[in-house]
Every structure is written in structure tokens, then in C-alpha cells.
Amino acid sequence: MNNPLLDTAGLPAFSRIRPQHVQPAVRAVLEECRAQVETILAAAQPPRWDNLVVPLEALDHRLARAWAPVGHLNAVQNTEALREAYNACLPLLSDYSSEMGQHEGLFRAFECVLAEEGDRLGAGQRKILADALRDFHLSGVALPPGPRERFRAIMLELSTLGAKFEENLLDATQAWRLVVQDEARLAGMPEDACERARQAAKARGLDGWALTLDFPCYHAVMCHATDRALRRELYVAWVTRASENGPTAGRFDNGPVMADILRLRHEAAEILGFANYAELSLATKMAASVGEVRGFLEDLARRSRVAAEAELEAVRQFAGQPLEAWDIAFWSERLREHAYEVSDEELRPYFPADRVMAGLFDTAAQLFGIRVVTGGAVDTWHPDVGFFRIEDADGALLGNLYTDLYAREQKRGGAWMDECVGRARLGSVNALPVAFLVCNFMPPVGDRPGLLSHDDVVTLFHEFGHCLHHLLTRVDWPSAAGINGVAWDAVELPSQFLENFAWHPEVIERLSGHFRSSEPLPRVMLDRLIASRNFQSAMQMLRQVEFALFDIRLHERGALDAAGVVAELDAVRREIAVVPYPDFNRFAHGFSHIFGGGYAAGYYSYKWAEVLSADAFSLFEECGVLDAAAGRRFRECILEVGGSVDAMEAFIAFRGRPPQPGALLRLAGISEDTASAA
Ligand SMILES: [Zn+2]
């Protein structure tokens, strides 16, 4: 056995993994899993937790262990050969997952365990069984053969349509560019954005500056270019991408794709017995009903409205002129600079990466009673990678953490946490959790260490919150350990919760210090930074609510053509938005979260989890922000239980009552008094 992906005795041997190992390993493990499933089923007579669920959990653990390093390397060390190998495995894995989801024998065996043994099992075990049975149903296992086949065909078609939606959007984004010859038109833009535009032109053999719809370029123009006509031109191109409007009208139109997606989603929901796709989506989430989600969003909108109108009026006053859609970001930036006199570039020298990491670990240690210490030399994929031991107060090892903080070529953008190894105690298989924490911060230059912006610090806290959820779990069964089995709309609770600490003066003081002099962040800068936290927070709130409400209402409506989609969005905007939207705006045609990604009838999750995290944090506002007893309670009630306890029950266990939206509004600086005056 020379394939390092098949050796799961210790940590992955990253440096030995080659693209040619990927397909053979995945095929071998899947083949083994298929055979094992049948062997386990045949031997489980009668089916019980120990003879059915435990060995199946071990199989899933084995598959996850073989695949985790592949997915990780594909994201952080992407090469043509690895990407090819990775993509070739996706249909294999998806086939296996639908086959298991519609496996009637397995389904009946799970039913039998719950019926025969349910009373004797613990609550966590019963939840695992109930979740598994729910997922069998949602895969169509209980349908008669005709509808079952139709359901599978719809799922396959939907995955293709989702990919088509993304392709159209990408192609439309890349098809447009504006070449500017007169440097004066770029007035106001940051130097590095101009430099990138110049290189973009040069790469195409052109003189001047090529402005594109890549987000950093678009964003720089909208926030900084003083040329109003230039901003308008980019705005029009951006908001009409992949639609029947604008400069690439009709060439990459997502209108028909959206119509097909909505029709098929609705049909799939009806086959499973739901009234609409929104109901199907909520079947796996914490929110109980579509009405509850709508009520939640409408309430946030109502309470934020007065503050949002005041924020917009402040921009208008500052600009001294009526504002069109392409003016708002520009004048907001000017107002922010004027009001807070704080810039990322001034703050950076006070946040060297090592110091921030030490402060973060220190904060977590104080809150949760753990220790994070260097893990020694291990095999990694890059010299930048850090490796740590997470220990309990008594020194017992709880898990390990890999960190990979800096941007480089062949690494996917953004920041994320991922699972390397899940916790498992299954008799034959024993494993402690291992997590990846990946960011794309500005790398060290020469003898200067990596310096973080405060935004980066918040990101780091967010991702480390996910890591703690994964690492501090006490659940022995992989399907409910850590973030597994946690409802989609609750999974951001630990991460958004931890973000709050990155805004606390005591924590910021502990994390910061000039990289040369170690001099603390001057109080005046600290105050300005904290004051700027809630700039335009009510407008941001309404924007998120607008997207979320549109998403849930759309999926409640069922089949709609493109014109119907646009009409629904316009209706939501008339109710919710305070900013102006021109008629040609086609936001829906580029809303890949819900048409290409996994957020369909689930976009509200961002706000939902934010209510939980803000309300959880409010306990620390009451007891003292670094209160160890409250921290220990968060660890026990939320972080340790993972998916073994229903998300609402877990929250109530922690807070002693159901979540209240007031804390979110208060944290966002949106005063309840102003709202009720409306
Ligand atoms: Zn997150």
C-alpha cells in the first residue's frame, strides 16, 4: 500500500500526496464502502445501534479521512493535475451519496434501530437516528419507483443548472471591460487598483488601463473614483450581468436558467409532499416554518428602517446632492473617512500576525479553559503552515490545528475552516479532531512580519470560532461531532460569536503592539476603530434582509419565469429598501448563493445565526467580557455538543431562554427607541 491517502493511521502525509494518488484512493475506498455496507447490513440481524450505526459511522469516517486532504490541497495548492483528479472524483462521490440516500435496506434498518432500541439510547443517539431517517426521506427513499426515479433525475438536472448559472455569471463578468486612456478618469482610485488595471491592459496588449468586473476592481471604482460617469458605466455593467439588459444583453442570460431551476425545485418539493421548495429547505433547519422566517426578517426590517433612513440622509447631506445608485458607495466612503479618521493602513503595524495569534489563543484559553501550544514538527504542504495542540486545562490532548494564514499563488481566496479529521470513538476507530484554519492575509515582506488589518483580525476570530466548534466536541460519533449535524442556520453561531471579542478594547489591547517598538495601539486609534464598527449598520441590515426575504418568498412562490422573478424582487425592494434601485438592475440574475450555491431558501441563515451569536455574547456583556464561568458554559452547552443536541435546545441550555433579536440590534448600534418611534 503505497498510496498515502489510504494510510489513515496518523496525520496526513501532505508532502507525499500526488495527483495520481487521488482517483485510485477514492475508487478503492468507495468500493470498499459499498461492499462493507452490504456486509454490515447482512450481519446486523436484528439491526441495532452497535451492529449497524457504529460500523457505518466508521465507514463514513474512513471516506472522510481519505477525501479531506484532497479537498484541502485542491484549495490551498491547486495545480492543473490536482484539479483534474479532484473534479473526476466529484461525480463518484455524488453517485455514492445518492445511492446510500435511496438505499431502502439501510433505511429500514435505521427505522428498526429507532423503533426497537430508541428508549434505551441517549438523546444524542436518537437525534442521529432521526436526522438519518429525515435525510433518507429527503433523498426520496420512501417514494414509489416512478417518482423516485423522477426525483433523482431532477436532482441531477438541478446540479447541471446550478453549474450553468455560475458559468453564465462568470462569462458575463469576464466578457466586459472598459479601457481608459486618460489617466485623469481614474482620479481618486487607490494606487494598487490603478496598477492592477494597468497590468490588466498590458496583459491584453493594450495601452492605458483596463477596468473589469473583477470584484476588487469594481469595488475600487465604486468607492473611490471621482468620475461619476465612470462609476455609472461600471454600475450598469455590474448589475445587468447575465441578464437581458446592459452591455452584454442576452448573451449569457440567466433568465431561462432561473425559471428552470425554480420549476424543478418546486416539482422536487411536491414529489416529497411539501407545498413548496421553501418548506423543503426548512426541513433541515432550525427555523420551524416559512412564516417564522418571514416574520423574523420583516421584524428586523421594521426595527432598522428609521436608522437606515437616517444613515442614508447623512450621506446625502454630506454629498450635498441627490444620490443615484452609483453614488452611494462613493459618498459613504468619503463620509466614513471624515467621521472616523481611521484607515486600515495606519492600523496594520499594530497587528503583527504572531502577536494576534498569541492574543487570540490567550483569549480562548481564558474563556474556555483550554491551552493552545505549539505542536512540534509535522509533515505539511507549505513552510508557512503552523501546527498546534489544543489541550484541556489538565493537559489532556483535545485535538490539533493547522494554520495557513498568508495569500499565495495556487491558493483559493477568502478564509475558511475545514475538517481534516473528525472526532470518532467507535471501538475499532479512535480519532481526535484536527482542523484547518485557512486565510489569505498579506504575507511577510523581507524582515517585516505579516501585518493584519483589523478586518483580518475579525476574520481570524470568526474562523477560529468554527475551529473550536470542531475541536472541543465531546461527541463520539462523527455524524454529530463538531459542526456535523448542526442545522445550517445555526452553524455560524460559534464563529460570529467569537468575532465580537475582536472588537473588545481589552482583547484588542492584548492582541496588538507595534511590530517594531511593541508600543501599544494608541488609545485614540483604538477608540476610532471601535467607533467605526457600526458605520451604516442599519443600511447593511436592510440590504441583507432584502436578499433574504426575496430568497424565501421566491421559493414559496413555486414556478416563475424571469419576469416573475424580477417582479418579486421589485416588490420586496419597494417594501424593504431605502436606497434607490434603477429599473434596469438585475440583481437576481447574479444571485449565485441561491441559484448556484447551497443557500436556496436559506439566505436568512446569516441573520438568523447573528441573532443567536449576538444574544449569546450579551451574556458576556452582562457578566464581564472575559468571564470564565460564562465561557465554560458556552463550551459545554454549544461547542462540546455539536450536532448531538437540537440547535434551539442547545441555545436555551446556554442562555436559559430562547434567543431574542434585541441583542443583535443593540450590537449593531440600532437603537430600539428610534425604531419604536416610527
Ligand atoms: Zn463562517
Once rounded to an integer, what is the mean pLDDT over residues 114-129?
Answer: 96
Q: How does residue 526 score in pLDDT terms, banded at 50, 70 and 90?
A: very high
Let me know the angle formed at the C-alpha of 58 by 421 and 148, rounded to the nearest 5 degrees: 105
User: Given a cut of 50, is residue 675 above it in pLDDT?
Assistant: no
What's the 2 CA to ligand 1 centre distance in angstroms?
36
Q: Cell 485542491 sits at which residue? A: 74
Q: By the 8 A CB rule, do 311 and 332 touch?
A: no
**211 closest CA partner among 237, 180, 181:** 180
Q: Compute the distance from residue 114 Cα to the ligand 1 centre, in Å.
A: 33
Tell me the HSE value of 678 on the side-chain side, using a 13 A CA sphere: 16
User: Quick check: 367 and 349 in contact, CB under 8 A?
Assistant: no
DSSP conformational letter for 450 = P
Sheet of strand 386-392: strand arrangement: 370-374, 386-392, 397-406, 434-441, 416-421
How far is Cα 602 from Cα 622, in angstroms, rounded to an integer?
Answer: 31
pLDDT of residue 238: 96
Overall average pLDDT of the 422-448 stretch? 90
Neighbours of 437 (CB within 10 A): 22
The pLDDT of residue 1: 60
Which cell numbers hold the place of 290? 416559512
Q: What is the Rg, in whole angstroms, of the alpha carbon atoms belonging to the chain?
A: 26
Q: 547: part of which helix (H) or strand (E)?
A: helix 537-557
Angle, helices 80-101 vs 19-43, to 10°: value is: 10
492 in active site: no
Each residue's pLDDT tens digit, 29-78: 999 999 999 999 999 999 999 999 999 999 999 999 999 999 999 889 88
β-strands 370-374, 424-425 pairing: unpaired
pLDDT value at 449 more than 80: yes
Query: Could you tell me the distance, in angstroms and rounded to a whole number, from the CA of residue 493 to the centre of ligand 1?
Result: 8
Tell me what the mean pLDDT of segment 218-225 comes to: 91
Which 8-state DSSP code applies to residue 187? Answer: T
Confidence at residue 247, expressed as pLDDT on a 0 to 100 scale: 96
State residue 217's pLDDT score. Answer: 85
Closest CA to 178 of 197, 195, 192: 197
Query: How far is the centre of ligand 1, averaged over its atoms, from the C-alpha of 416 (Å)?
Result: 7
Is residue 315 classed exposed, middle or buried when 0-12, 13-18 and 19+ CB atoms within 10 A define those classes? Answer: buried
Residue 550 to residue 568: CA distance in whole angstroms: 7
- Round to whole Å and give the CA distance between 229 and 232: 5
Non-local CB neighbours of 599 within 8 Å, separated by 6+ positions: 551, 593, 605
pLDDT of residue 509: 94
340 pLDDT above the threshold of 50: yes
CA 350 – ligand 1 centroid, Å = 25
Cell of residue 389, nine digits: 495542540
Ligand 1 centroid–CA 317 distance in Å is 36
Q: Give me the mean pLDDT over the 159-173 stretch.
A: 84
What is the CA(20)–ligand 1 centre distance, in A? 32
388 C-alpha to ligand 1 centroid (Å): 21
What average pLDDT does the segment 14-25 reach?
97
Specify the pLDDT at position 196: 79
Q: Ligand 1 centroid vs 497 CA: distance in angstroms?
A: 10
As given in the structure block, the three cell numbers for residue 490 are 445555526
Is residue 561 pLDDT above 60, yes or no? yes
Distance, in Å, from the CA atom of 557 to the CA atom of 651, rounded to the nearest integer, reads 32
Marked catalytic residue, from 463, 499, 556, 640: 463
Distance 284 CA to ligand 1 centre (A): 18
Answer whether residue 677 shows pLDDT above 50.
no
- Cα of 319 vs centre of ligand 1, distance in Å, is 35
Indicate if the pLDDT at residue 158 is higher than 70. Answer: yes
CA gap 137, 113 in Å, rounded? 16
Q: Find how far residue 451's CA is from the centre of its chain.
A: 24
Interval between CA 439 and ligand 1 midpoint (Å): 12
Which SS3 state, helix, strand or coil, does residue 425 take? Answer: strand
Q: What DSSP element (H or E) covers 416? A: strand 416-421
For residues 348 and 454, give the distance between their C-alpha atoms in angstroms, rounded to a whole number.
7
Contacts of 158 (CB under 8 A, 6+ apart): 261, 264, 265, 268
pLDDT for position 666: 87
Pairing of strands 434-441, 397-406: parallel
Q: Say which DSSP state 35 is in.
A: H
Sort 377 into a burial class: Cβ within 10 Å, 0-12 / 13-18 / 19+.
Answer: exposed
**Ligand 1 center from residue 417 Cα (angstroms):** 8
Spell out where 142-275 has E strands: 177-180, 209-212
Single out the residue of 597, 559, 581, 573 nearest to residue 169, CA to CA: 597
Range picked from 207-221, 363-377, 448-462, 592-606 for highest mean pLDDT: 363-377
The distance in angstroms from the start CA to the end CA of the chain is 70
- Ligand 1 centroid from CA 463, angstroms: 6
**What number is the average pLDDT over the span 455-463?**
94
Task: Give mean pLDDT, residues 266-273.
Answer: 96
pLDDT above 70 for 673: no
294: which 3 cell numbers? 418571514
Highest mean pLDDT among 152-161, 289-298, 437-446, 655-664: 289-298
Taking residues 1-7, report their average pLDDT.
88
To the nearest 10°, the Cα dihedral for 156, 158, 163, 165?
Answer: 160
pLDDT computed for residue 174 by the predictor: 84
Report the C-alpha gap between 666 and 668 in whole angstroms: 5
- List the alpha helices (DSSP H) in 341-387: 344-347, 353-368
Q: How far is the CA of 462 from the centre of ligand 1 (A)?
A: 6
Q: How far apart, in Å, are the Cα atoms of 399 and each of 346, 411, 422, 550?
A: 37, 25, 10, 41
pLDDT class for 518, splitting at 50, 70, 90? very high
- Per-residue pLDDT reduced to its tens digit, 179-198: 999 999 999 998 777 987 99
Residues 14-24 have a mean pLDDT of: 97
Model's pTM, two decimal places? 0.88
Q: What is the mean pLDDT of residues 501-510?
A: 95
Q: Do 76 and 412 meet the contact criterion of CB atoms below 8 Å apart?
A: yes
Residue 475 CA to ligand 1 center (angstroms) comes to 21
pLDDT category at 260 given cuts 50, 70, 90 is: very high
pLDDT at 178: 97
Q: Report how far ligand 1's centroid is from the alpha carbon of 51 (Å).
A: 36
- Residue 672 reports pLDDT greater than 90: no
Ligand 1 geometric centre to CA of 496 (Å): 7
Instruction: Tell me what the pLDDT averaged over the chain comes to.
Output: 93
pLDDT score, position 676: 37
DSSP 61-113: HHHHHHHHHHHHHHHHS--HHHHHHHHHHHHHHHHHHHHHHT-HHHHHHHHHH
Answer whether 433's CB lies under 8 Å from 332's CB. Answer: no
Residue 671 has pLDDT above 80, yes or no: no
